[in-house]
Amino acid sequence: MVRGGGTMSDRRRFERVYASHYEAVLRYCLRRTNREDALDATAETFSVAWRRRADMPTDRELPWLYGVARRVVANQRRSVNRWKTVSVRVRVADNDPTYEPEPQVVQNQEIRHLVAALARLKPADQEVIRLAGWEELGRDELAMALQCTPNAVTKRLNRALDRLAGELGVEERARGRFFGSGEVAS
């Protein structure tokens, strides 16, 4: 046994997963919250991964980690919202820094327009688009991260992209349907 629970092989596997996927999970969190909270969310994601290492699928760790990180960031947001509500009730000045979900991508007008349109979508639509586009997950990986079937992912992503196109004022998406034959259409 290794100190902190688990076997030596558990520890080696976890260390491999951590080394391989830490940066990807951190980037995922940075695209959804500020740097300080992203670092906290990444640490919490790997803490959960250690505790639930028996549930982590072999050779499919990254989409599973994205699913954990998604829930960790959502919990952070709920905590922040609860804190803000309480501080308003007691009329305490809110010292929380401005919460920007996409802090490092708002660099030019076209991206700002896209980010603004994405922000107007429902959170579930935003998440499926981000996981497919920014995290570059395939259909099966998306299904794992979102805990649904691959067919449900295809429908959710296509509908979310249609809604995004509507927010952008585009009548039809020029790139076609995603996951029509198991892959992303080009």
pLDDT, position 136: 83
pLDDT, position 22: 97
Distance between CA atoms of residues 176 and 157, nearest Å? 12
CA 64, 66, 70, 72 dihedral sign is positive
Burial environment of residue 156 by CB neighbours within 10 A (0 to 12, 13 to 18, 19 or more): buried
CATH architecture of 1-104: Orthogonal Bundle (1.10)
- Give the predicted TM-score (pTM) of the model: 0.53
Indicate the domain borders of the chain: 1-104, 106-174
Say how many Å lie between the first and final Cα of the chain, rounded: 49
Give the CB-side neighbour count of residue 115, counting CA atoms within 13 A.
16
Distance between CA atoms of residues 72 and 41, nearest Å? 6
User: 3-state DSSP call for residue 76?
Assistant: helix
Give the CB-side neighbour count of residue 35, counting CA atoms within 13 A.
1
User: 3-state DSSP call for residue 111?
Assistant: helix
CATH architecture of 106-174: Orthogonal Bundle (1.10)
Element (H, E) at 123: helix 123-133
Residue 16 to residues 29, 37, 72, 128, 182: CA-CA distances in angstroms? 20, 24, 21, 27, 29
Residue 74 CB: number of other CB atoms within 10 A?
Answer: 14
Each residue's pLDDT expressed in tens, for the chain with a length of 186 residues: 344 556 788 899 999 999 999 999 999 999 998 999 999 999 999 999 999 999 999 889 999 999 999 999 988 887 766 555 544 444 433 444 555 554 444 445 667 778 888 889 999 999 999 898 888 888 899 999 999 999 999 999 999 998 988 888 876 655 555 555 444 433
Rg of the chain over all Cα atoms, to the nearest angstrom: 18
